[in-house]
Structure 1
Amino acid sequence: MLPLAVAVTGLFALSACQFAGHDDPADEAGRLNTMESFPLHAYLPDPSSDAGKAIGSAQWILAKKCMVRLGFAGFTMLNTKTVESTYPVRRGTLALSSTTGDDRPYGVDDPDEAIEHGYHNRKQTESSQPQEWVADQYVALTGTFDSGDSRRAHGHPIPQGGCLGQAMQKIYGAPPKTTKVNGLKVTGYYSLGLELWYESHKEARKDPAWKKADRAWSACMKKKGFHYPDPDEVSVDTAWYRTEKPSSREKKTAAADARCKLDTGYIDTVHAVEARAQKTAVSKRKKDLDALRAANERAVENSRTIIEKES
């Protein structure tokens, strides 16, 4: 389970059994164990949505023109409709791609799925694979320099943030100030939402109800022969990262983890605490968050105009 994971998909509907008043704990846990179920999700745009895809397409259209201006003639042939939307990777750099980990906020929640996949639950799609670029192209695209890299391309100065960064500034305007999230500097147009998500999570974990839920889950796991203080600890056990496929021990541990979350009502409890913390954070910074959302809506409009002019 990775903190602040921002893997996000559509909305969820009530099931027939819920209308009948017989909620399935597993279904409810699965509904709550998503990024979409939190208040702050509304302020973190979905890259897989039509709006998110429009921004990505417009960014590459502008970046392509920038690269051509910098003297990369081959970019005139670049098909921006098929170029990878993930952030570029410098060729020769080790880019790890693994299914180890989980995209859900609270990790595994389905015992049947867990006994099959263990903690190897990270979704892998073709578009999630980073696209590699040779060094001079990578530098010009990203504005990220290694020792010895020139800050010019074919005699032209590389813009701050590279061609992709310059494109985003044209789409969004000037980026907000850099902030820190879990000790790491974060800059970008969604940094406030990420910062508040992290701070809310940290605050929620101090709540007595969360600590009680951790103890109940841990006691359940102990009865099954597994000794971990909380779900975060078991999900990041280094043993799971040593193999590409889950071991028998990993599968059994993950299945017990998911079962104990359901039997103790873990996800229901901690989600309520964290959602409450997020609501408080939103109310305190609503003006800033609304401005952020308005800026994103303008960026989508700008992007669609850019795409329309190009077609």
Structure 2
Amino acid sequence: MTALRPLLTLAAAACALAACTGPGTDQASPEAPAAAASVSPSASEPPVDPADPATWRLPLEAYRLSPAEEAKLAKAATVLTQRCVREGGLADWEAPAPLPKLGGKTYTDWRYGIHDAALAERRGYHPDADEQAAYDAALADTMRTQPATVDSCAIKSRAQLGAGEHGKLADTLAGEAWGQAKREPAVVEAFGRWSACMAEQGYHYREPMDANAGWDSSGVSTAERKTAVADIACRVRTQVAKIWFDAEARLQLPAEQRESAALKADRAALDDALRTAEAVLADSD
């Protein structure tokens, strides 16, 4: 009798291929919001808007996968896994779709905290309700009981695509710069202005990321929504996110220069994996 188990490996493999760092938004630092398991591709990169963190670009992003590239690898992993499982005798098996994006849509979108006032009024620090529902449904699908052969096929798919650990050096260096930037004088001063602004409205937090911690994950309270709205108003007044971003971008440059050879090798390996993924997807059409 074929053993059955929850389908965890396929989602984990897709996440590893995309150099994910955890659930939520696209981050490297353990303190910062982290990356979702997989994302939906975008048609093109948006132009840079000084008022929209989602459009900002950090130097080390060049050495990691873009959202569209993450989606391509995840889709190719799904195709390979389904092909392997069916060749193993389960002709009718259907792989679950890659997990949809939840939270920030780009590497920098929620990297320095929330910034969408309309969303904050509805959801506080939580993702959009429809996005959350779609993500939860897709996650439940990946957790359904599956034949044990799916695990081995998912691992083989990951190896065949070959992205492996590549791209994680950029995330590690970026995470270090993210944390170091908080100690830069301009950022410390901006944090102080933001904290004072929040105190004027009755909220007492030392740093901007402190405000989004500790809220109930099962629902959105009135207190959370009000705090989030005040948070964004103070962010706009103090420009704290842009000051933080500028400091991090500056700190990433020496790290990029210091680790240039390794970063370029990682990027080349990611490009090889993407070419393999493109061939897999072309063959599946």
Flag the 1:250–1:292 CA change in 2: closer, same or farther, 3 A: same
Out of 108, 121, 124, which is 2:127 matched to?
121
- Partner residue, 2:159: 169
- Partner residue, 2:9: none
Unaligned runs of 5+ in 1: 15-26, 88-96, 143-161, 176-187
Structure 1 residue runs of 4 or more that deviate by more than 6 Å after TM superposition: none
Distance in 2, Cα, partners of 1:116 & 1:132? 29
Distance in 1, Cα, partners of 2:261 & 2:33? 22
Asked if 2 retains the 8 angstrom alpha-carbon contact of 1:11 and 1:36, the reply is no
Counterpart code for 1:63: T
Deviation at 1:105, TM superposition (A): 1.0
CA deviations 1:94-129 (Å, max 9, x no partner) are: xxx997xx9611222243442232112354373672
Flag the 1:78–1:68 CA change in 2: closer, same or farther, 3 A: closer
Distance in 2, Cα, partners of 1:84 & 1:242? 24
The answer to whether the aligner puts 1:108 opposite 2:114 as a matched pair is yes
1:36-75 aligned within 5 A = 36-47=56-67, 49=68, 51-68=69-86, 71=88, 73-74=89-90
Secondary structure at the aligned position of 2:51 is classed as: helix
CA deviations 1:286-306 (Å, max 9, x no partner) are: 221121121122112222223
Out of 83, 93, 96, which is 1:78 matched to?
93
1:267-282 aligned within 5 A = 267-282=241-256
Question: Could you tell me the TM-score, scaled by structure 1's length?
Answer: 0.67
1:269-308 aligned within 5 A = 269-308=243-282
Asked if 2 retains the 8 angstrom alpha-carbon contact of 1:4 and 1:198, the reply is no
Flag the 1:278–1:4 CA change in 2: closer, same or farther, 3 A: farther
- Partner residue, 2:194: 217
The answer to whether the aligner puts 1:12 opposite 2:27 as a matched pair is no
Distance in 2, Cα, partners of 1:133 & 1:248? 32
Asked if 1 retains the 8 angstrom alpha-carbon contact of 2:195 and 2:207, the reply is yes
Deviation at 1:214, TM superposition (A): 1.0
Flag the 1:196–1:213 CA change in 2: closer, same or farther, 3 A: same
Deviation at 1:4, TM superposition (A): 5.0
Unaligned runs of 5+ in 2: 1-23, 26-31
Out of 216, 225, 237, which is 1:241 matched to?
216
Paired positions, count: 244
Asked if 2 retains the 8 angstrom alpha-carbon contact of 1:4 and 1:194, the reply is no
Distance in 2, Cα, partners of 1:283 & 1:4? 26
Flag the 1:280–1:4 CA change in 2: closer, same or farther, 3 A: farther
Out of 141, 144, 156, which is 2:150 matched to?
141
Distance in 1, Cα, partners of 2:161 & 2:230? 47
- Provide the identity percentage: 25
Distance in 2, Cα, partners of 1:283 & 1:225? 44
Flag the 1:64–1:112 CA change in 2: closer, same or farther, 3 A: closer
Secondary structure at the aligned position of 1:258 is classed as: helix
Asked if 2 retains the 8 angstrom alpha-carbon contact of 1:213 and 1:269, the reply is yes
Question: Could you tell me the TM-score, scaled by structure 2's length?
Answer: 0.73
Deviation at 1:78, TM superposition (A): 3.5
Counterpart code for 1:226: Y
Flag the 1:98–1:196 CA change in 2: closer, same or farther, 3 A: closer
Deviation at 1:37, TM superposition (A): 1.9
- Partner residue, 2:50: 28
Deviation at 1:141, TM superposition (A): 3.4
